[in-house]
């Protein structure tokens, strides 16, 4: 693969989702990613499902989602020979990603000080559940627990009924933030000649996207509440019932509201609806009044009318509808790869497009240890006099 990070070598010691997602993002940008897995079973997400696919029903679609554009080698880091191999790899790589619990990598003989000694240019990304230090720094972290501890569940779902976000968003955000940190560290290394350690966590990554929910508490002193399918600060802005289902309407300013009101036969200047502050204070009443009209026609009718009026609106698609949508496909959001067992398959693709780089070919997530020989041969070549 060619891309902005072509020539960068990434060692991916992580497993499950946060670290692998970060490494996959770097691979999408052209980095060579070497995934290091335990010989017995490898990354535990290889066993996570359903669904499982393949002739033997043993290939996890969960694993496929986070491990494209990687090579897999097997090392048992409790064995001295395999620790020696990792030592050699560290000397000739640029980035190491790990999401062990705090202190585990050091106990295996690879403290941050040891890694810096082996390769002063190494960029180390460490992802934990709740941070590497502090009173609860050693806690194991899984996505749903982090969603709850970081406040996300309290503002998701219907009022008074905490819900997890559908995707493992704490893991994914940690991976995204981690990849962002690696890119910044690689840029800094060009100026200083030195690598460094980047730390993030599931907790930090969720708190970091609280945005206006955070300032609602830190500045205004109000504890945010769940608002179901409606916006926490804007009205009307959310999901509304129509005659045959639901649509979403986003009246983000007074101009949009006036168009919505005119379309639905509501006086936009009524005192209780005149400004966003007024509309939000009377949101329940407003939603009921809008839905009385919206339920008289179909979703397609209203989506067409709203589009003609210039009001942001949309349908609520199922996942299969998203991946068959022409707009999704036009944006390169699916990556076709040739899997050694499954043949040609489509995976959710990279989210960045660079005008000066043509579309890239992607490689399928690897079988466990599939690249042992190739990586060791590459390593010997790097070490040759």
The DSSP-derived string for 198-231 is EEEEHHHHHHTT-THHHHHHHTT-------TTB-
Q: What distance in Å separates the CA atoms of residue 253 and residue 272, rounded to the nearest whole number?
A: 16
CB 250 within 8 Å of CB 316: no
Same-domain status, 19 and 132: yes
Residue 2 domain-assigned (yes or no): no
pLDDT digits (tens, 9 = 90+) for 1-26: 689 999 999 999 999 999 999 999 99
Mean pLDDT of 125-133: 95
- Judged against a pLDDT cut of 80, whether residue 379 lies above it is answered with yes
CATH of the domain at 338: 3.40.50.10540
Residues 168 and 69 both lie in one domain? yes
| Mean pLDDT to the nearest integer, 120-147 | 94
3-state secondary structure of 147: helix
Looking at the fold, whether 45 and 138 belong to one and the same domain comes out as yes
Is residue 250 in some structural domain?
yes
Structural domains in the chain (count): 2
Same domain membership, residue 171 and residue 103: yes
Q: How far apart are CA 347 and CA 361, in angstroms?
A: 12
- Of all residues in the chain, what percent carry a pLDDT higher than 70? 99
297, 317, 337: which is the final residue of a domain?
Answer: 317
Provide the H-helix boundaries in 193-315.
202-207, 212-218, 254-264, 276-281, 283-294, 299-309
Could you tell me the pLDDT band of residue 62, with boundaries at 50, 70 and 90?
A: very high
- Mutual orientation of helices 372-383 and 80-91 as an angle, nearest 10°? 60
Last residue of a domain, one of 292, 317, 342: 317
Q: Can you state the angle between helices 283-294 and 254-264, rounded to 10 degrees?
A: 40
Range of the domain at 88: 9-209+325-383
Average pLDDT over residues 28-44: 96
Is the Cβ–Cβ distance between 217 and 223 less than 8 Å?
A: yes
Tell me what pLDDT residue 169 has. 97
Co-location of 144 and 13 in the same domain: yes
Residue 93: is its pLDDT beyond 90?
Answer: yes
CATH at residue 278: 3.30.1540.10
| Secondary element (H or E) of residue 328 | helix 326-330
From the candidates 81, 171, 244, 267, give the one annotated as an active-site residue: 171
Q: Are residues 185 and 257 in the same domain?
A: no
pLDDT at 138: 83
> What pLDDT was estimated at residue 1?
65
pLDDT tens digits, residue range 343-377? 999 999 999 988 877 667 899 999 999 999 999 99
pLDDT tens, position by position, 241-292: 999 999 999 999 999 999 999 999 999 999 999 999 999 999 999 999 999 9
Q: Which of 269, 294, 317 delimits the end of a domain?
A: 317
Concerning whether 58 is annotated as a catalytic residue, the answer is: no
| pLDDT, tens only, 290-334 | 999 999 999 999 999 999 999 999 999 999 999 999 999 999 999
More confidently predicted of 224 and 360: 224
Per-residue pLDDT tens digits for 197-223: 999 999 999 999 999 999 999 999 999
Please indicate, yes or no, whether residues 310 and 332 belong to a single structural domain of this protein.
no
The pLDDT of residue 384 is 85
- The closest alpha carbon to 37, from 338, 372, 362, belongs to 372
Q: Which pLDDT belongs to residue 162?
A: 96
């Amino acid at each position: 693969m060619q891309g902005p990070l072509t020539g960068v070598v990434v060692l991916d010691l992580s497993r499950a989702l946060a670290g692998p997602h970060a490494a996959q993002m770097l691979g999408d940008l052209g980095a060579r990613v070497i995934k290091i897995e335990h010989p017995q079973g490898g990354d535990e997400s290889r066993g996570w499902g359903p669904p499982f696919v393949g002739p033997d029903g043993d290939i996890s679609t969960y694993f496929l989602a986070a491990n494209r554009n990687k090579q897999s080698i097997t090392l048992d880091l409790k064995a001295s020979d395999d620790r020696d191999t990792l030592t050699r790899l560290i000397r000739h790589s640029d980035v190491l990603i790990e999401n062990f619990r705090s202190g585990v990598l050091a106990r295996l003989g690879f403290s941050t000080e040891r890694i810096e000694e082996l390769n002063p240019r190494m960029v180390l990304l460490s992802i934990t559940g709740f941070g590497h230090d502090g009173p609860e720094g050693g806690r194991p972290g899984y996505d749903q627990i982090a969603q709850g501890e970081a406040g996300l569940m309290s503002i998701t779902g219907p009022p008074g009924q905490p819900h997890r976000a559908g995707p493992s968003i704490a893991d994914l955000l940690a991976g995204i933030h981690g990849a962002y940190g690696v890119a910044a560290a690689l840029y800094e290394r060009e100026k200083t000649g030195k690598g460094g350690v980047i730390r993030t966590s599931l907790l930090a990554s969720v708190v970091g996207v609280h945005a206006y929910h955070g300032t609602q508490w830190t500045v205004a002193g109000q504890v945010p509440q769940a608002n179901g399918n409606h916006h926490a600060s804007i009205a009307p802005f959310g999901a509304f019932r129509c005659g045959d289902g639901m649509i979403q309407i986003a009246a983000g300013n007074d101009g949009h509201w006036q168009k919505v009101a005119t379309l639905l036969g509501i006086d936009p200047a009524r005192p209780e609806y005149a400004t966003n502050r007024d509309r939000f204070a009377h949101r329940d009443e407003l939603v009921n009044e809008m839905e009385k009209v919206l339920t008289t026609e179909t979703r397609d009718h209203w989506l067409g009318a709203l589009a003609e009026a210039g009001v942001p609106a949309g349908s609520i698609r199922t996942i299969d509808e998203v991946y068959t949508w022409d707009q999704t496909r036009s944006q390169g959001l699916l990556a076709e790869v040739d899997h050694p067992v499954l043949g040609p398959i489509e995976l959710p693709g990279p989210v960045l497009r660079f005008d000066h780089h043509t579309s890239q070919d992607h490689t399928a997530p690897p079988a466990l240890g599939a690249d042992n020989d190739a990586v060791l041969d590459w390593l010997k070549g790097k070490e040759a006099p």
